[in-house]
Structure 1
Amino acid sequence: MAARTFIAISELHPNFSHPTVLGIIIWKSDVKSFPDRKNVGRDRFTFGFTVRDSPDFFINVTAWGNDGYINGLSNSFNTGDCVVIENALVAHKDPQKDERFYPSTPSFYKMLVTEAHSQVCLCADMDIIDKLLPLIHLPVKDSRDFYSLGDIVANGRRLDGTVINILAAMKMIGEPKQFTTSDGRKGQRLEVKLFDDSVSSFPLVCWDREAIQLMQTLIPRESVLFIADAKISFDSFRNGMAATVNTKTIITVNPDTREASLLFNYAKQVSESGTLDQDEKPEDVSVDSITDVYTVSQLKQKARDTPEPFFGITYSFISKLDLDSSVSKVIKMRCSRCKFQLTGDAQSCMNQLCPGRDQPFSAMTGFDLLVDFTDHTGTLHACTLRSPVAENMLGYTTEEFTSLSDDQRTAMKWKFLLERCKVYVKIIPSSRMRTGVKGMVLACSLADPGEVKQHMSALLQ
């Protein structure tokens, strides 16, 4: 393919006949159908996509045709693919329809693709592909023009119904839910949880199959998203704000911008520190309300079956409890604001993106242990046991614990080690953990033998 045969998107005009355009797909819609007014009883099919050939120029393309042609064309390429478009009609944008239902573009025009006249095929020239691929990481809006999640939460209902840009990291991908509407149409819904340095969990809802497929290719905690033209609304069910991907929304994954790079580094830091695993606070449910009893294998299986955190009780033996390690491994210091783990002599938070860096330094010290629980079905490794839960369990404050002798700490360890305990846990499915499960201890005490016998016999039935 000779580069001179292609017309740049910036130069397109309705006067051009048989233009050939080359670019990378940065947005794609689902296939939709409409009754054909010219052929009663038949449907016309359509879908749209946005193609980009330079940092500053991209254009919307709409394809029309019968069921077989449109679905076949839609299935032939995805977001991120490089395509060649031949013989598309170049037309003026319709300010009413195009600006309302399609992404905003810098071009005055749009392109129309039909089976009779046009062709869209994948680009096979690797040199051209290598030049176009970086464009997928450039936001379609000013990279500094976005709301943080904290801004959205702070503005609350004042943003209800608005369309804004968001920069956030992906925290978790839910399971897609299928449904059928009252008029018989099938639909789907996927909820993604976002986070940044101001908010630890914020919902983004996707309804389009194309958007859902894009989300499912991403890696939670390692993906930063610039979401251009997301709709913000007040969700009465959650009693909070939520974002929705609509037909105008273009999502740029891991944008090549300074702001996104800072957020990526922050996401990596808090992910490695374990902060994200504790942010859905243990106190978001009272221990008294937890009644479901599980074996260890049942906890693991449920974590595989559901992406959402859940709570339960397990009657298990503590098989690892390193209370007689050095005090620095049992008691740790964290920043009060971002929960980032600090060294003992720290005079400021080491986290470059701590939301309180411009405020007086504040740290908190507490028990910070990883414990293992084992029953007849297996072991739940590396569960987090932190203050104040650890203080209630051990019966000592951190100050009292540091004054104990080595022999006294060892004696305390053996009070619990290999003893059957009643453990209230929060289970968080976690792709970072080798086991796929992160456990947080919400309460732990030596178990009553009669209670154990009653529950274990029920589990074994």
Structure 2
Amino acid sequence: MALALMSGNVGLRRTKLEDLNPNLGNILVVGIIIGKQKPHKFTSTAASYEGVQKAVWNFTLRDSVRDYANVTYWGSTEVVFQANDQDLNDPGESYRPMVTSPYRLTLNEKSSLIRHEGNLRSFLQLLRLPTKPLAGFVPLKNIQNNGSNITDLVNILVVVKGIRPTRTVNSKFSNETFSVRTVEVFDHTSPSFQIEMWDNDIIQRSDHWVPTVTILFITDLKVVWSNFLRQFSVKVTARSIVTENPEGKESQMLANYAKEAPIETFDIVGQIVTALDDPNIQDVMTVKQVQDKINSSSMERQFTAALYVSISSFDLDGLSKVLLVKCAKCKLEVKNSKCENAQCPTVYEGDSALLEYNFDIRLNISDHTGTLMNCRLSGQAAEQALNCTAKEFSNLSDEEKEMLKWKYLFEKCAVNIVVLYIGNQSPIISVLKLKRENVLEISRKLAVY
């Protein structure tokens, strides 16, 4: 919101942040809040107010492309003032957003803070200007894979992928309740990353964020390990500022990427599998070793393994879904060979839907140590295993599908897999290679544990 800050009551002089100096008095500053912290109460220890309840509020004000400053508003709890009247070398500044002004504005009961009723257009434009260079962002993949080595605060440039409902949590240390909202984001290096937002102002702003459209530049985040997510995540700090759809070439490049980026789990898995550098996996494991690694507290977000197993479930000719059919125009799943997306050109132009066929098969693999259930076989791996495309498979008779099934069902096979974690979902086991193998060859290579 655009504000007018008035220090004093008479003879006010309009002052820009760039012109601030310690000798000024009775000034009027007009700007827009670009970041703020939650006000909190405290009990005064000053002699004249000992035992009196006070309140403190910190926010960051910007009035031009170049200039922004931290503001401390203190006073009685009734008006939620800020209470921090220390010198400019106050170590507390290390917990405030980095700003361009060497000075901090301090307001008290003699000051006023009112909504600016003038032209707001120029101030609203300031909300899209980042407070730090966009090029300094840290890719999400670096945080996920190297979080233990990151000790400094980081900046990220991301696209909103999904917004969870706001939930209420109770403080372990007081009777207070807090609102929290999980926002899922992505960038060009990672398809899914979750951030928990605890600030009420940011939570309210997130109501207007649009998945795959809204770009966020968030500064001064702390990298933390999340036991719940089993990965490194980030935490908003008192220094963080969230800039929506920031101006800059990096933001525009990310927005262009977001238009074509895969969002559905099927597409994300396909993208990750395609990007794997080395399909020749040498790490031989048993089913139990894979399960133990999945259940461990390992920080790995993905790992690969070669297994020598039997295919214990492979329903190609029954009721199980084995094909994913999408509209070639809008990329949404199609049922009964008809696109039902009201926004798709094939609907409002009256055209017939062009269909894309993809394998999305589930199978179980077993050895002497256990069974990995609900493994996914899709894409090129499925085409090579079945020696046909998904489109060709859709035209096969039930008898032909049954023959393909019995080629692998209960047979000894060499299987390469990749285990992936996407967001907060259960791990996805994707089959990279499925090949019939000689029993003697399996007995030679099989790891016995």
TM-score category (smaller protein)? 0.5 to 0.7
Corresponding residue for 2:361?
Answer: 389
Corresponding position: 1:63 with 2:58: no
Query: Distance between the aligned counterparts of 2:203 and 2:23, measured in 1?
Result: 38
User: What is the one-letter code of the residue matched to 2:268?
Assistant: D
Q: Give deviations 1:26-68, integer Å, cap 9, x for gaps.
A: 0011110011224444310111111111122101111112222
Corresponding residue for 2:234?
Answer: 243
Corresponding position: 1:263 with 2:254: yes
Corresponding residue for 1:143?
Answer: 134
Query: Distance between the aligned counterparts of 1:42 and 1:90, measured in 2?
Result: 16
What are the ranges of 5 or more consecutive residues in structure 1 without an aligned counterpart? 75-88, 290-316, 324-328, 333-339, 342-367, 374-381, 416-427, 429-441, 443-461
Matches within 5 A, 1:102-117: 102-114=96-108, 116-117=109-110
Change (3 A) 1:369 1:194: closer
Corresponding residue for 1:26?
Answer: 34
Corresponding residue for 1:314?
Answer: none
Matches within 5 A, 1:76-225: 93-98=88-93, 100-114=94-108, 116-126=109-119, 129-160=120-151, 162-181=152-171, 182-225=173-216
Task: Give the drift of 1:180.
Answer: 2.0
The 8 Å contact of residues 139 and 252 in structure 1, kept in 2 or not, is answered as: yes
Corresponding residue for 2:395?
Answer: 409
Query: Distance between the aligned counterparts of 1:322 and 1:249, measured in 2?
Result: 42
Query: Distance between the aligned counterparts of 1:241 and 1:250, measured in 2?
Result: 20
User: What is the one-letter code of the residue matched to 1:279?
Assistant: I
Query: Distance between the aligned counterparts of 1:63 and 1:404, measured in 2?
Result: 66
Task: Give the drift of 1:147.
Answer: 0.6
User: What is the one-letter code of the residue matched to 1:103?
Assistant: P
Change (3 A) 1:403 1:386: closer
RMSD: 4.6
Corresponding residue for 1:293?
Answer: none
Percent identity between the two aligned chains: 24
Q: Give deviations 1:351-383, integer Å, cap 9, x for gaps.
A: xxxxxxxxxxxxxxxxx963369xxxxxxxx9x
Query: Distance between the aligned counterparts of 1:177 and 1:281, measured in 2?
Result: 33
The 8 Å contact of residues 14 and 91 in structure 1, kept in 2 or not, is answered as: no
TM-score (norm 2): 0.59
The 8 Å contact of residues 6 and 19 in structure 1, kept in 2 or not, is answered as: yes
Query: Distance between the aligned counterparts of 2:388 and 2:266, measured in 1?
Result: 26
Secondary structure of the structure 1 residue equivalent to 2:131: coil
Corresponding position: 1:11 with 2:16: no
Query: Distance between the aligned counterparts of 2:16 and 2:229, measured in 1?
Result: 46
The 8 Å contact of residues 358 and 390 in structure 2, kept in 1 or not, is answered as: no
Change (3 A) 1:154 1:22: same
Corresponding position: 1:370 with 2:334: yes
Secondary structure of the structure 2 residue equivalent to 1:387: strand
Corresponding residue for 1:296?
Answer: none
Query: Distance between the aligned counterparts of 1:91 and 1:410, measured in 2?
Result: 79
Task: Give the drift of 1:25.
Answer: 1.0
Task: Give the drift of 1:242.
Answer: 0.5
User: What is the one-letter code of the residue matched to 1:31?
Assistant: P
Secondary structure of the structure 2 residue equivalent to 1:389: strand
Change (3 A) 1:245 1:402: closer
Change (3 A) 1:202 1:193: same
Corresponding residue for 2:59?
Answer: 49
Q: Give deviations 1:418-439, integer Å, cap 9, x for gaps.
A: xxxxxxxxxx9xxxxxxxxxxx
Secondary structure of the structure 1 residue equivalent to 2:104: strand
Query: Distance between the aligned counterparts of 1:63 and 1:410, measured in 2?
Result: 73
Q: Give deviations 1:322-341, integer Å, cap 9, x for gaps.
A: 98xxxxx79x8xxxxxxx99
Query: Distance between the aligned counterparts of 1:199 and 1:402, measured in 2?
Result: 29
Query: Distance between the aligned counterparts of 2:44 and 2:132, measured in 1?
Result: 36
Task: Give the drift of 1:96.
Answer: 0.4
Number of equivalent positions: 314
The 8 Å contact of residues 221 and 234 in structure 2, kept in 1 or not, is answered as: yes
The 8 Å contact of residues 164 and 229 in structure 1, kept in 2 or not, is answered as: yes
Change (3 A) 1:155 1:397: closer
User: What is the one-letter code of the residue matched to 1:178?
Assistant: T
The 8 Å contact of residues 318 and 371 in structure 1, kept in 2 or not, is answered as: no
Task: Give the drift of 1:215.
Answer: 2.4
Change (3 A) 1:239 1:402: closer
Task: Give the drift of 1:110.
Answer: 0.8
Who wins on radius of gyration, i.e. which is larger? 2
